[in-house]
Each structure stands twice: as C-alpha cells, then as structure tokens.
C-alpha cells in the first residue's frame, strides 16, 4: 500500500511539473496559431509567425525531453503507448482526409492542422487517463 501511495505522489509530481513547463508552451502555440491564421500577411507578419512557430516547436521538444527525463519506467511506458495510439489516430485521420480531398468533399489543407492538434489532444488525454486509472497488475 505504501508503494502505491509513493507511486501516486510521483505521478502527481510529474503531472504538476509538466503542467508548469507546458502552460507557457501552450500559450505560445495559441499565439503562433493566431498569427498564422491570417491569409493576407505582410512580410514582417510572416517573419514573426515563422519565428514564433519555430520557438514553439523547440519549446515542445524541450518540455517533452524534460518530462521523459523526469519520468520513471512506468510513466515512460504510458507516454510511449499513448503516443503510439495518437500517432495511429493521426495517420488514419490524414488518410480519411486525403480520400475526402480526392473526392472533392473537403480541402485537405484546412484539416491538417486540426488533425495534428487533435492527435496531440488524444495523446495527452490517453496518457492522463492511464495515469489516473491504472490497470491492475496481472
């Protein structure tokens, strides 16, 4: 029982650390998305958008690296399994969007960003649910 309580505290501490690291990164992502949504951008606006998007991408990589280094073997396994499921969901969604684009029903370039953001959301949701409700050992 004490081992489970210690594991719960480790999990909460890891989740809190990712939240503290990830909040500014998520805010930067929203700013990058807002700057990139204007179709008629000047050269300066494009340069700002590219710079902020680059910083956002590097910040995401930094947060993930820190989270993996902090995590124990169990949390790393949960994260990798969650990433694999999200990756599969993104691939399926992109394939469906490509077929719909080929049929002339939708335009692919409008959905790619939403599909990728949805994949990240699926990854985070699955990882969160797996750490909150762990499976019983077999």
pLDDT in tens, 51-68: 988 988 898 888 888 878
Q: What is the pLDDT of residue 137?
A: 59
Distance, CA of 82 to CA of 120 (rounded, Å)? 10
Share of the chain above pLDDT 70, in %: 94
Neighbours of 23 (CB within 10 A): 11
Lowest mean pLDDT among 9-18, 59-68, 112-121: 9-18
Instruction: Give residue limits of the domains in the chain.
Output: 1-71, 72-138
Which region, left, alpha or beta, applies to residue 104 given φ > 0 means left and ψ of -120 to 50 means alpha?
left
Instruction: For residue 37, give the DSSP letter.
Output: T
């Amino acid at each position: 029982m004490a081992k489970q309580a210690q594991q719960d505290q480790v999990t909460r501490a890891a989740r809190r650390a990712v939240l503290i690291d990830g909040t500014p990164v998520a805010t930067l992502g929203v700013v990058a998305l807002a700057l990139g949504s204007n179709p008629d951008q000047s050269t300066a606006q494009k340069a700002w958008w590219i710079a902020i998007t680059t910083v956002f991408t590097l910040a995401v990589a930094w947060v993930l690296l820190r989270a993996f280094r902090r995590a124990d073997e169990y949390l790393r396994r949960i994260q990798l399994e969650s990433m694999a499921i999200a990756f599969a969901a993104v691939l399926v969604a992109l394939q469906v969007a490509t077929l719909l684009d080929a049929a002339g029903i939708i335009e692919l370039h409008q959905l790619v960003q939403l599909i990728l953001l949805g994949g990240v959301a699926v990854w985070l949701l699955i990882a969160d649910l797996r750490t909150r409700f762990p499976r019983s050992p077999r």
